[in-house]
Amino acid sequence: MNDLAAIERIDAVPLVLDEIAKAHGGELTVQSTDEETVFRFRMSI
């Protein structure tokens, strides 16, 4: 895998998680830093 493909895959992750959040009625918060990306998912019950 070249670097460009890796970047494209990373960029797609928030979109996929956003769809999961919508499907489950949850709320998705994405926080990015230079070193890491943190995802928090809270489902409404």
Q: How far apart are the first and last CA of the chain?
A: 40
- pLDDT band at 20; cut points 50, 70, 90: confident
* Residue that wins the pLDDT comparison between 34 and 18: 18
Round to whole Å and give the CA distance between 16 and 14. Answer: 5
pLDDT at residue 28 greater than cutoff 60: no
The phi-psi region of residue 28 (left if phi > 0; otherwise alpha if psi is between -120 and 50; otherwise beta) is beta
Residue 45: the pLDDT is 44
Predicted TM-score of the model (pTM): 0.28
| CA-based R_g, the chain, Å | 12
- Read off φ and ψ for residue 20, nearest 5 degrees: -60, -45
